[in-house]
Amino acid sequence: MHIHTLLIEDNLDLAATLVEYLDISGIICDHAADGQSGLNLARHSPYDVILLDIMLPRLDGQKVCRTLREAGVQTPILMITSLDSLQDKLDGFACGTDDYLVKPFELPELVARLRALSQRLSSQASLLQVADLQMNLATREARRNNQRLHLSPTAWQLLECLLRASPNPVSRERLERAIWGDEPPDSNSLKVHLCRLRRSVDKGFTVPLIHTQAGVGFCLRTP
């Protein structure tokens, strides 16, 4: 399966080198030469990973990253920049990046990080959504079809775990660890909390979103 990457970089010589090397490595790479163009592409096209410089014309990389996260975009972001101080790195993670690579870097390392990031959704997004179900991590609100869902703390944790993994299934063991760590209560507890979550999320709606996959676990997706 090909990885589809967006590179937002204003150094055209470096961009050409990266696009060529990534292509040789089997990674499809679109390029934007300024922050605003990159933001527009990232908003409207599906990418597996975004490579983002910080010092960009029109819109700097931190603003691009923050805007995407506030919009709920879960695409992993790798900042590639010459800014190498600890504070620069802390600022990058604070605005929502998943990884940080200082220029100059070795191209094989870039590819290795890209491949690792492409295997997951970002944990930095503040808005998680599947179909008409939304979870706003900033405001601590969950809504379906714009109707607010009233969730217990445990149901909230379960829903967040399922949304982050969607559409892939989550095993019973992983859900139990997410809620109770290494000391889960009796084996019936998860079943009880999942039943309550199903009532909150699916009751009264034509299309159920929470599904059981026998022998695998539970998933949140459209049919």
pLDDT digits (tens, 9 = 90+) for 164-177: 788 888 888 888 87
pLDDT in tens, 140-159: 899 999 999 999 999 998 99
Tokens of 82: 């010459």
Alpha-carbon span 138 to 135, nearest angstrom = 9
Kindly report the CA angle at 131 between 125 and 133, in degrees rounded to 5? 65
pLDDT in tens, 1-51: 478 899 999 999 999 999 999 999 989 899 999 999 999 999 888 788 999
pLDDT for 78 equals 96
User: What pTM value is reported for the model?
Assistant: 0.60
Segments making up each domain of the chain, as ranges: 3-117, 127-220
Q: For the residues of 32-67, what is the DSSP string, one character each? A: ESSHHHHHHHHHHS--SEEEE-SS-SSS-HHHHHHH
What sign results for the dihedral spanned by CA atoms 165, 166, 167, 173? Answer: positive
pLDDT for 71 equals 81
pLDDT in tens, 94-143: 999 999 999 999 999 999 999 888 877 655 667 888 999 999 887 889 99
Stronger pLDDT, 2 or 74, i.e. the higher one: 74
Amino acid at position 115, single letter? R
Chain-centre distance for alpha carbon 35: 20
Chain-centre distance for alpha carbon 15: 24
| Nearest in space to 92 (alpha carbons), one of 106, 77, 111 | 77
Tokens of 121: 């959704």
Q: Give the SS3 label for residue 78.
A: strand
Residue with token string 């040789």: 24
CATH class of the structural domain 3-117: alpha beta
Neighbours of 139 (CB within 10 A): 9
Alpha-carbon span 192 to 170, nearest angstrom = 17
DSSP secondary structure code for residue 104 in this structure: S
Q: Which fold has domain 127-220?
A: Arc Repressor Mutant, subunit A (1.10.10)
- Mean pLDDT across the chain: 89
